[in-house]
Chain A
């Protein structure tokens, strides 16, 4: 049943929590505690990552079933159980989470100087929540992890963030909470209807179309905020700008994927009629998101804000892909989620590099950085290309497939998505030109040091991933190929069935 032979997913989930628990009891001089906290957190996350590689090598790509399954009774009289497992859709997100966390800890090595121990605890708790969410096979557990993410994120932004951090932290928390609570009601209704909270068992459930509409709206309230879709995206730029660099990386890299993952895990398999019914609305909102936020990104003067808006646009492409309901679209969306996780995370790290040195994120503050920091300029170049979806980089396969898929669903939507790619090239290249090229306008920039060895180590895995995903995407597609095919088949079968009444 379990390919690893031991409860791998539970171990992955709770190992970071154990590390956080150890950190709670570190005592001593402030400097020593900080150093200890950094190393403990780094090793914990590295060991977690190492263990998670078992998933990469032992995952059976020929089946759409859940693998590495663990089951325990939790509250049997309520039908609640402790169920962990991954399928092709979730396995790579577990890996993404375990891969990004050590990089985040590494990137905070010198940037965070106050309350280091608490910071590292928050990050490890965050990792637990993320991995737990992607590997939960129980609705209530899913909800617990989904919401639990808010606690460390609220503190990370609020304590270690920028000037308007309190506002941003509140906005993130309350926006997401309101959406999630509505989702909770939908989960409770499903729970009542199915008598179980085991997610694969829910797939068998046939729900009356008019009920599906309400359930879809409740799920939508939560996932749309998390993705985020236009017009509920406004928390994201604030959160990104105020968050410390590593917080932005995790936010863009993993947390945004939770919403899209929720659509894939709940809305699509459970509510086929409603999905079909709401798809035009989602397309409209996504195309608006892609075009509008790209234009907004063009007007930004803050580098982080620009990348934040570009995230909204990229996630718009993801939601388009998911709701095309065909193989290309969904595969493209999942790939885009992964590549965006890597590339936008890396872009936030790039901004962080400059911010650590100059303490400004203003675009006009820079210029001519290529002459001072050539290695950095090259790295930044690669990720800029990844973001504009240049063929050969991570961004291309996903966006291309989504556009192909969208063409089948509705050519106009494909046109919107393509327009987003063009605008994306415009704002990213313009950003690059203003920051990296042109003349050196300020003398204090001349003394900047190029990437330190620690920063090189941080960027190296991301560079490799960006090129690997661009040049040989099959090694990633092969993971979710079968699961996506099963999802599409199930959807088509559900649509072919005559409408059943009663829930």
Chain B
């Protein structure tokens, strides 16, 4: 039973080990083969996740249900798309090393374990497996000072967050006597009022997770790391790990600490408000498009957290949809960033997009759709993401969140529009032709963003099932 439940992770790990050996043994460059192998492994993992039975394994440390299925599919899709974006870029930058796809693969295993974790220890294991892989790929361009700085910065701050998490976990363990989520929930509901130490522990755990999802006030690392890391790595950072960390946050808040909603709600509300406002205001002055996307991602986390802050079933469903839509829109936008290359040199300035509307109308159109979707303009996908979380906030009577949310949406529309303005209203030289892999990703995510409104039903149903599994 245990082994069949954890089959997706096992299969992925096996693919990783085989790929590692296959990468080392031959004398010639094996990057492409390993990349394809890893992509195949991710695909396999996706299929296995779909076929995964539901239940608990390893003494309740690992759980598989509709929620984990939804999140794992997103994570696997995000990782596969991220890898697809990176292959060509790495080759052009001279970073073609077979370790890259492997690190992506191992971080994906970490994310899947995070999503399925039902125990503080399993949670920590998954998180660290993810983080260690991320530290390395942030600094993957080791000859670049900026990349090394990004890796180091991420490592130091990430280690701090891990410390917070462990400290919080030990407090929780000390006051509840268990690390298992189900039994923590029992301990909280049985005692007359939760012990104070438990609440303190919870706050530490929340702080660590807020660091991982880069919510205000734990967002400081985000712009620097996003700017410094190689662009495909940034794309990866902003998609799959973010989704996984949000999943973990939701799982921890709604699962074991569901009865302490009054305690964590205030924290999440503040994080959400802060993230939305900062994401809207700080991005305005940015000239580097990766920094802009960093602040934009902070803002999006704020909107997603709004769903959690409301604490209702509808809110969590809104959050799940928001993250799904965010993931695909974001990967699409980063595909455009990765295609920004002129005479072989990668570009990062917003102004470097100038004239794209004339020189490459298809890509400019796609980027326009991504930007408008992120700004929440109907009928694009991003609008529906916002619609569901705002609806939840209004139903829960969280008017402050809702009003701040719409106001910051309007402000953030300014900088999304600026990207469109630069592409269509200014003139500039043509970019280098984009590789086929990017065109594929652009077409896929572009179609999803544009036509989500035609087929929302399967996503809604999947999110609904996930919420039902999570909240019981």
Interface residues of A (CB under 8 A from B): 74-75, 77-78, 115, 118, 140, 143-145, 147-148, 150-151, 154-155, 158-159, 165-166, 169-170, 173-174, 177-178, 181-182, 184-185, 188-189, 191-192
A143 touches B378 (CB 8 A): yes
CA separation between A154 and B414, bound complex, in Å? 12
A431 to chain B, nearest CB (A): 31
Whether A192 and B464, one on each chain, are in contact in the complex, defined by CB atoms closer than 8 angstroms, is: no
**Which among B387, B394, B403, B421 is the interface contact of A166 at CB below 8 angstroms?**
B421
Answer yes or no: B379 CB below 8 A from chain A CBs.
Answer: yes
The residue on A at minimum CB distance from B426 is A166
Cβ-defined partner of B379 (8 Å) among A115, A144, A191, A192: A144
A185, B417: Cβ atoms closer than 8 Å = no
Instruction: Give complex CA distance A158, B407 in Å.
Output: 24
Q: Check if B377 sits within 8 Å of A185, measured CB to CB.
A: no
Of chain B, the residue at the smallest CB distance from A173 is: B417
How close is A360's CB to chain B, nearest CB, in angstroms? Answer: 23
Interchain CA distance A158-B357 in the complex, whole Å: 12
Measured CA separation A166–B379 after assembly (Å): 23
A150 to B375 CA separation, bound complex (whole angstroms): 12
In the complex, which of the residues A158, A174, A185, A188 contacts B413, with contact meaning CB atoms closer than 8 Å? A174
Shortest CB-to-CB span from A47 to chain B, Å, is 23
Contact mask for chain B residues 343-368; partner A; CB cutoff 8 A; 1 contact, 0 none: 00000000000000110010000000
Q: How far is the CA of A118 from the CA of B464 in the complex (A)?
A: 40
Q: Are B377 and A150 in contact (CB under 8 A)?
A: yes
Pairwise interchain contact B361-A118, C-beta atoms closer than 8 A: yes
Nearest Cβ distance between residue B454 and chain A, in whole angstroms?
A: 9
| In contact, B425 and A191 (Cβ under 8 angstroms) | no
Across the two chains, which residue of chain A brings its CB closest to B358?
A115
- Interface contact B460-A158, CB-CB below 8 Å: no
| Chain A residues whose CB sits within 8 angstroms of the CB of B377 once the complex forms | 147-148, 150-151, 177
CB 8 Å contact bits of B395-412 with A (1 = contact, 0 = none) = 100000011001101100
Against A, the Cβ 8 Å flags (1 = close, 0 = not) of B373-392 are 00101110001000100110
User: Would B414 and A174 count as touching, CB distance under 8 A?
Assistant: yes
For B39, the chain A residues whose CB sits under 8 A away are none
A29 CB, nearest partner CB in chain B, Å:
16
Point out the residues of chain A lying under 8 angstroms from B410, CB to CB.
174, 177-178, 181
> Given A148-B379, A170-B421 in contact, is the A185-B390 Cβ separation under 8 Å?
yes
A192 near B391: Cβ-Cβ < 8 Å: yes
User: Whole-angstrom distance between the alpha carbons of A283 and B410 in the complex?
Assistant: 29
Give the interface residue-count category, chain B.
Answer: 20 to 34
Q: Beyond the given A177-B413, A178-B410, could you list 15 further A-B residue pairs with CB under 8 A, ordered by the A residue number? A: A77-B460, A78-B391, A118-B357, A144-B453, A147-B378, A148-B379, A150-B377, A151-B372, A165-B425, A170-B417, A177-B375, A182-B403, A184-B387, A185-B406, A188-B387
Q: Which of A143, A159, A184 contacts B424 (CB 8 A)?
A: A159
Of all A-B residue pairs in the complex, the 10 with the closest CB atoms, nearest first, are A181-B406, A144-B378, A178-B410, A188-B394, A192-B395, A144-B379, A147-B378, A158-B425, A188-B391, A177-B410
Interface on chain A toward B: helix, strand, loop, or mixed SS? helix
Q: A184-B390, A185-B406 are in contact. Are A158 and B379 (CB under 8 A)?
A: no
Known pairs A150-B377, A174-B410; A144 contacts B383 (CB<8 A) = yes
The distance from the CB of A188 to the nearest CB of chain B, in whole angstroms, is 4
Task: Determine whether the beta carbon of A148 is less than 8 Å from that of B357.
Answer: no
Q: CA separation between A182 and B394, bound complex, in Å? A: 12
Q: Chain B residues with Cβ under 8 A from A192's Cβ?
A: 391, 394-395
Which residues of A are found within 8 Å of B464, using beta-carbon distances? 77
A159-B357 contact given A144-B378, A174-B410, CB 8 Å threshold: yes
Give the residues in chain A near B414, CB-CB below 8 Å. 170, 174
Residues of B within 8 A of A166 (CB): 421, 425
- In the complex, chain B residues whose CB is within 8 Å of the CB of A177: 375, 377, 409-410, 413
Q: Could you mark each residue 69-97 of chain B with 1 if its beta carbon is under 8 Å from any beta carbon of chain A, else 0?
A: 00000000000000000000000000000
Given contacts A144-B378, A158-B421, A158-B425, contact A178 B403 (CB under 8 A): no
Q: Is B457 an interface residue (CB 8 A)?
A: yes
Chain B residue with the shortest CB-CB distance to A155:
B424
Q: What are 20 A-B contacts with C-beta separation under 8 Å? A: A74-B456, A75-B457, A75-B460, A77-B461, A140-B387, A145-B378, A148-B379, A169-B421, A170-B414, A173-B417, A174-B410, A174-B417, A177-B377, A177-B409, A178-B410, A181-B409, A184-B387, A185-B394, A188-B387, A191-B394
Convert B409-439 into 0s and 1s, putting 1 for each residue whose CB lies closer than 8 angstroms to a CB of A: 1100110010011001100000000000000
Question: A24 — nearest CB in chain B belongs to which residue?
Answer: B365
Which residues of A are found within 8 Å of B406, using beta-carbon distances?
181-182, 184-185
- Chain B nearest CB from A23 CB (Å) reads 12
CA distance A144 to B409 in the complex (A): 16
A185 and B402 in contact, given A151-B372, A151-B377 (Cβ under 8 angstroms): yes
User: Cβ of A147: which chain B residues have Cβ within 8 Å of it?
Assistant: 377-378, 383
Across the interface, which residues of A come within 8 angstroms of B379, CB to CB?
144, 148
- Cα(A223)–Cα(B397), bound, Å: 24
**Residues on B with beta carbons closer than 8 Å to the beta carbon of A169:** 421, 425
Bound: A182/B403 CA distance, A: 8
When the two chains form the complex, which single residue of B394, B457, B460 contacts A189, counting CB atoms closer than 8 Å?
Answer: B394
Q: Which residue of A lies closest to B372 (CB)?
A: A151
**List of B residues within 8 angstroms of A118 by Cβ:** 357, 361
Q: Which of A144, A148, A154, A185 contacts B403 (CB 8 A)?
A: A185
Nearest A residue to B408 via CB reads: A181
Closest Cβ of chain B to A492, distance in Å, is 31
Chain B residue numbers with a CB within 8 Å of A150 are 377
For residue A154, which residues in chain B have a CB less than 8 angstroms away from its CB?
417, 420
Interface residue ranges of B455-469 to A (CB < 8 Å)? 456-457, 460-461, 464
Which interface residue of A78, A166, A181, A188 has the most chain B CB atoms within 10 A? A181
Residue of A nearest to B424 (CB): A159
Complex CA–CA separation, A174 to B395 (angstroms): 27
Chain A contacts for B372, CB-based, 8 A: 151
State whether A159 touches B425 (Cβ < 8 A). yes
Give Cα A158 to B365, complex, Å.
15
Q: Please state if B378 and A148 are interface contacts (CB–CB under 8 Å).
A: yes
Which A residues lie within 8 Å of B387 (CB)? Answer: 140, 184, 188
* CB of A288 to closest CB in B, whole Å: 26
User: Shortest Cβ distance from A171 into chain B, in angstroms?
Assistant: 11
- Give the CA-CA distance A330 to B182 in the complex, in Å: 63
Q: Tell me, in angstroms, the Cα distance from A147 to B379 when the chains sit together.
A: 8
Residues of A within 8 Å of B383, CB to CB, are 144, 147
Q: What residue of chain B has the Cβ atom nearest to residue A158's Cβ?
A: B425
**A191 and B391: CB pair below 8 A?**
yes
Closest chain-B Cβ to A1's Cβ sits at a distance in Å of 24
CB contacts (< 8 Å) of B424 on chain A: these are 155, 158-159
Which residue from chain B places its CB closest to the CB of A150 in the assembled complex?
B377
Complex-state Cα separation, A145 to B383, whole angstroms: 12
Expressed in whole angstroms, the minimum distance between the Cβ of B365 and any Cβ of chain A is 9
**A158 to B418 CA separation, bound complex (whole angstroms):** 11
- Smallest Cβ-Cβ distance to A192: which chain B residue: B395
